[in-house]
Amino acid sequence: MGDAEPLIRWDWIGRNLPSIQQQALDHLVMAVTPVLLGLVLALPVGLACARWRALYQPTVGLMNVVYSLPSLVVFIVLLPITGLAERATVIIPLTFYSLAVLIPGVVDGLAAVPDSVRQSAVAMGFKPMRRLVLVELPIAVPVVLAGVRVAMVSSISLVSVGALIGRGGLGYQFIDGWQRQFYTPIIVGIVLIILMAVLADGLIVLAQRLLTPWARARRGT
């Protein structure tokens, strides 16, 4: 690599903008889907764990084991089933990582509901299902979303490892840059991934503000 090689070649970015956009979109789908799937699965599992506490320790233990499996390892094990360069090969392991973060979030969130609030709801004649949806889940929102933030940022970052098995969204830029000993794609990939994570994080914080209007009202008084 000579001194003439600049860190970033802007003209290269210009020429490759369409494929970068395509990869960014692919990246976004592969990163967001696991978190949404994880949330959909974590809610019933978390509810069950909060309801029957005996389930909690084994579930968390199992999730800890899943969490300790390197993503690349799970990609490889899934390859014969889901196939090389398929979105599912990336999405399935990341869904399990999201679950590992989100289940404790849901359980802790529900545990954070004050007993007096729960009893008030019962006294007002709320049936369990209505109490859960209208009272307990809204109060659990901040704790659950704290988990969603971690899951989302990690997921966005981890998708790039999928490039090693042929499907990694912006991670492909790392492979491309390495194979051609060329800085620009690598920097483009890193910057876009961090940008995507920061934007997603900001959106979740915004969602939290919208979902918990009472938090601001209380601070205001």
- Residues forming contacts to another protein in the complex (CB under 8 A) are 1, 53, 56-57, 60, 64-65, 67-73, 76-77, 79-80, 104, 108, 111, 149-150, 153-154, 156-157, 160-161, 163-165, 170-171, 173-174, 177-178, 181, 183, 186-187, 189-190, 193-194, 197-198, 201
Neighbours of 53 (CB within 10 A): 10
Cβ 30 to another protein shortest distance, Å: 13
99 or 170: CB nearest another protein: 170
DSSP-based three-state secondary structure for 101: helix
85 or 126: CB nearest another protein: 85
Residue 130 backbone dihedrals phi, psi, to 5 degrees: -65, -40
122 or 206: CB nearest another protein: 206
Cβ 123 to another protein shortest distance, Å: 27
Cβ 129 to another protein shortest distance, Å: 26
Both tokens of 183, joined, read 């800085």
CA-CA distances (angstroms) from residue 18 to 14, 24, 54?
A: 9, 10, 52
Both tokens of 138, joined, read 């809204």
80 or 125: CB nearest another protein: 80
- CA proximity to 108, closest of 49, 154, 22: 49
33 or 154: CB nearest another protein: 154
Cβ 16 to another protein shortest distance, Å: 16
Both tokens of 41, joined, read 């699965």
Cβ 208 to another protein shortest distance, Å: 14
CA-CA distances (angstroms) from residue 139 to 39, 131, 144, 152?
A: 16, 11, 10, 21
**Cα–Cα distance for residue pair 38/106, rounded to 1 Å:** 11
